[in-house]
Amino acid sequence: MASLPTPTQASTEVLSQATKSNDSTFKILYFGLHGLAELTRTILAYAGAKTEELTVDWPNQKDQTPFKCLPVVYEVTSDGTVLELAESQAIERYLATKFHLFGKNEYEHHKVEQFLTSTDTTLQAFSTKVIRADADKRVEEANKFYTEVLPKFIEVHEAHLKKNGSNGHYVGDSTTLADIKTTLLINRVLFLRPKGANEVPFSAEKTPLLWKARETVDSHPTLAAWKKSQRYQELDASTKTMFKWE
Ligand SMILES: N[C@@H](CCC(=O)N[C@@H](CS)C(=O)NCC(=O)O)C(=O)O
């Protein structure tokens, strides 16, 4: 059985101190697809953090994970302390805090949360209605999503990006988790467009500010390198296979 790192047992004060480590390795336990680990992997790539993929041996590991599901991430600090992180959105928020992707103050943090939650609602709709649709309903569901769900998202989000100065960011003048999550949404919708479906309504012409935010995130050097990697291509392929997409 592939063994998992043993989380360090210590007081919250000691563990809290360990979260300040800036030379950690992040060991990711997740299945071989993008799924619920995509944003976590993206944040780690963006931050240029040291990462490792742990071997999944699911039935034998399930009982060792905090919620009996994946992803789980183990942060191993330079002094060997192991912090166990579970639940995808909690992991993403922990990493965003650690890598300064939550704005510059409490109010900006709240603004980032607003955009994250809004984008998540749209992402969930895409996942339940399109990705998980029966194969013979997929084109119809995708077209409905493009005309009934995305226009509202686009209108509201373009307006917020404009209000922030059309600088490619939702909040302030630097990248936050909100920019990264929206980039993930746009890329996922473009990537998982069923054959025969209408054109996806995201483009440089139709959604210039969302497109600018996406380009700003995707052109970040360490993230761009991750997206070109062989592992990333494998995750693309297995994501499509998993949902019998092609
Ligand atoms: N709320 C959890 C849901 C995690 C979840 O459903 N994980 C699935 C994979 S995407 C899983 O572990 N499935 C295997 C199982 O339940 O045995 C999260 O966001 O992390």
Q: Which fold has domain 12-98?
A: Glutaredoxin (3.40.30)
Residues of the chain with pLDDT under 50: none
Candidate of 69, 89, 235, 243 to mutate for ligand 1, largest count of ligand atoms within 8 Å of Cβ:
69
Which residue puts its alpha carbon closest to atom 15 of ligand 1?
69
Q: Where are the domains of the chain?
A: 12-98, 106-220
Closest residue to atom 9 of ligand 1, CA basis: 70
Residue 70 CA to ligand 1 center (angstroms) comes to 5
CA of 67 to the centre of ligand 1 (A): 8
User: Which residues, 6 or more positions from 235, have their beta carbon under 8 angstroms from its beta carbon?
Assistant: 32, 33, 34, 41
Element (H, E) at 225: helix 221-228
Which tens digit of pLDDT belongs to each residue from 98-147? 999 999 999 999 999 999 999 999 999 999 999 999 999 999 999 999 99
CA of 51 to the centre of ligand 1 (A): 21
Strand ranges inside 94-137, DSSP E: none
φ, ψ dihedrals at 165, nearest 5°: 100, 15
Ligand 1 pocket, mutate which of 70, 120, 243 (most atoms under 8 A from CB): 70
Task: Please give the number of the atom of ligand 1 that sits closest to the Cα of 87.
Answer: 20
CA distance 182 to 203: 14
Atom of ligand 1 nearest to the CA of 36: 10
Give the number of the atom of ligand 1 that is nearest the alpha carbon of residue 65. 12
Same fold flag, 12-98 and 106-220: no
pLDDT of residue 245: 74
Residues within a 6 A CB radius of ligand 1: 35-36, 62, 69-71, 87-89
Q: Is residue 72 within 8 Å of residue 84, measured between CB atoms?
A: yes
pLDDT at 136: 94
pLDDT of residue 1: 63
CATH topology of domain 106-220: Glutathione S-transferase Yfyf (Class Pi); Chain A, domain 2 (1.20.1050)
Strand order in the sheet with 25-29: 50-53, 25-29, 72-76, 82-86
Q: How far apart are the CA of 25 and the centre of ligand 1, in A?
A: 23
Q: How far is the CA of 71 from the centre of ligand 1 (A)?
A: 7
CA 166 / ligand 1 centre spacing (Å): 37
